Amino acid sequence: MKRILLTRSMPERVVAAARAHFDVEIRDDAAPLKVGQMRAALALYDGVMPTLGDMFGAEVFDGFQNPRCKILANFGVGYNHIDTDAARAVGVSVTNTPGAVTDATADIALTLMLMSARRAGEGERLVRAGAWTGWNPTQMLGLHITGKIVGIIGMGRIGQAVARRCHHGFGMKVVYTRRSGDVDLGFPTERVRQEELLARSDFVVLCVPASPETYHMIDAEQLTWMAPHAHLINVSRGDVVDETALIAALQAGAIGGAGLDAYEHEPEVPAELTALENVVLLPHLGTAALEVREAMGLMAVENLRAYLNDETPPNLVN
Ligand code: 8YV
């Protein structure tokens, strides 16, 4: 039986599915793998299921000719923590879990839009602090969402799911950027340049994968294109935004607010951010629902099963 390593504890259904095919070891530690542990995993297992935080950089693969481990079946759609070229160079395939994460991540984007626009975090803090003095007609006025313009940067699976929710649920107009041409969602949308999107949108939602091309794609200069009432929502990866520039924009009130589910140096969240009222901060909750994590895990197990049975895994990325 092939030996595989799950680098974190997993929902029971995922563990059972893995055990049906493999001799499974489950790491009993919530912290990401260290370099030595990743190198040991490459040497000792036929397949590994890594996840966010397991930084399989080039140095991890360095010196391996033909590691026992031939597949890293990432648990999650984003695989920017794995150097896929370095993996390929030593014969290691990488897979991910697209599809399984789409709706849940889009739901968190809408959660952040609503919370940021309607000042939900701030209001909750007020109530919990016992500082609410009672309702009045001009108290805590936020931004009305219905009928506004949402600008989606990165119109892939998650971007499209956000667009559908915004259009069908909130009657919003959708503008977007997309590297690979127009998409037809069955309702009117407009593909525009990034600066135009930033200037026109009441909500800017970041749905691009992390890559050298998307690193700091929202920087100080790009933030100046946004309207002073507009909200920036990030459900992708933290380093898509220059966090220092975002903090400065929020402190200056140069934008209306922000909703973040990802941070540049996760899990570190700068004190400058936690001190601000006009930002909603979530702990990377994008896919945090049991059935979603089960679907992701089952997808990763299927990638392992297929690969280790000499079939092409469904979600190969390198
Ligand atoms: C995951 C995510 O839960 O799938 C992704 O890429 O960002 C998340 O929502 C997490 O990253 C595990 O991979």
Domain ranges of the chain: 3-100+290-308, 102-281
Nearest CA to ligand 1 atom 4: 76
Could you read off the pLDDT of 127-184 as tens digits, one per residue?
999 999 999 999 999 999 999 999 999 999 999 999 999 999 999 999 999 999 999 9
Mean pLDDT in residue range 27-37 = 97
Mean pLDDT over all residues of the chain? 98
Q: Which two tokens stand for residue 181?
A: 């041409």
- Domains 3-100+290-308 and 102-281 equal at CATH topology level: yes
Whether the CB of 75 sits within 6 Å of ligand 1? yes
Q: Which ligand 1 atom is the nearest neighbour of the CA of 52?
A: 13
Nearest atom, ligand 1, residue 235 CA: 7
User: Whose CA is closest to 293, among 1, 4, 11?
Assistant: 11
The token pair that represents 137 in the structure block: 């007609």
Any atom of ligand 1 within 6 Å of the Cβ of 160: no
Q: Which of 237, 264, 293, 305 is catalytic?
A: 237
Beta 257-260 vs 279-281: how paired, if at all? Answer: parallel
Q: Which residue type, as a one-letter code, is found at position 1?
A: M
Q: Domain 3-100+290-308 belongs to what architecture?
A: 3-Layer(aba) Sandwich (3.40)
Say what the pLDDT of residue 261 is. Answer: 98
* Angstrom distance (rounded) from CA 155 to CA 148: 18
Q: Give the SS3 label for residue 178.
A: coil
| CB 259 within 8 Å of CB 276 | no
| Residue found under tokens 């000792």 | 44
- State residue 203's pLDDT score: 99
Distance CA 308, CA 296 (A): 18
* Reported pTM: 0.96
**Strands across the sheet with 3-6, in order?**
23-26, 3-6, 47-49, 71-73, 93-95
172 lines ligand 1 (CB under 6 A): no
Mean pLDDT of 214-242: 98
Per the listing, tokens 């994590």 go with: 293
Catalytic residue among 25, 190, 196, 266: 266
Query: How far does the centroid of ligand 1 lie from the alpha carbon of residue 139, in Å?
Result: 37
Regarding the beta carbon of 77 and ligand 1, being less than 6 Å apart is answered yes
Q: What pLDDT score was predicted for residue 146? A: 98
Q: Which helix (H) or strand (E) holds 114?
A: helix 102-117
**Rounded mean pLDDT, 19-36:** 97
The pLDDT value given to residue 7: 98
Residue 46: per-residue pLDDT: 98
Is any atom of ligand 1 closer than 6 Å to the C-beta of 262?
no
The residue whose CA has the least distance to atom 7 of ligand 1 is 78
Give yes or no for a contact between 250 and 276, defined as CB atoms under 8 angstroms apart: yes
* pLDDT tens digit sequence for 50-103: 999 999 999 999 999 899 999 999 999 999 999 999 999 999 999 999 999 999
Reported confidence tier of residue 208, pLDDT bands at 50, 70, 90: very high
Identity of the amino acid at 36: G
Ligand 1 close to Cβ of residue 287 (< 6 A): yes
CB of 286 sitting under 6 A from ligand 1: yes
For residues 8-32, give the mean pLDDT. Answer: 98
Return the CATH class of domain 102-281: alpha beta
Q: What is the pLDDT of residues 266-303, one digit of tens each?
A: 999 999 999 999 999 999 999 999 999 999 999 999 99
Q: Is 264 an active-site residue?
A: no
pLDDT at 51: 98
Helices (H), ranges, 129-193: 157-164, 170
The per-residue pLDDT for 260 is 99
Examine the residue annotation and report whether 284 is marked as an active-site residue of this protein.
Answer: yes
